[in-house]
Amino acid sequence: MPQTNLSPRPPSSPEEWDAYFDLRWRLLRSPWGQPRGSERDSLEEAAIHLLLTDDTGRALACGRLHLNSPTEAQVRYMAVDDSVQGQGYGSAILSELEAEAKRFGASRIVLNARDNAIRFYEKYGYAVVQEADTLFGPVRHVRMEKPIVRR
């Protein structure tokens, strides 16, 4: 059975970047009939990208962070392969993205969560603040926020 290291890191090779974007597309866009390429946006170059793979290079989890302003960071494109749900991969990605936001000096983190992810984010201190844009027809999202505590 392939081993996995729970230390998220940026993709570092063309193969890792391909696996990273493929996971985003397969889990976040393909089920709603969205074409390849829809898993990317204009902020990719300025964002922090994190990936967890097994030792065969298969992407298991990913996420991205970018700054909306000097004080607000946003988490986007969080995805965890169905085969490893509930095993700490999403938590590892989110924790490292939060650490990056803190390093950038942001005072809060925002994200748009699908209904099935709200409880996950609430477990880490995020609170629903409003409805967010619904994507691809029936995919409802809520805006969530979390203050960054400085110690």
- Collapsing DSSP states into helix, strand and coil, what is residue 14? helix
All domains in the chain, ordered by first residue: 14-106 (3.40.630.30)
Q: Tell me the β-bridge partners of 49.
A: 64
- For the stretch 91-126, pLDDT in tens is 999 999 999 999 999 999 999 988 888 999 999 999
- For the stretch 19-56, pLDDT in tens is 999 999 999 888 888 889 989 999 999 999 999 999 88
Local structure of residue 148 (DSSP, 8 states): P
Q: Global pTM?
A: 0.90
From residue 93, alpha-carbon distances to 5, 83, 98, 100 in Å are: 12, 16, 9, 11
CA atoms within 13 A on the CB side of 30: 9
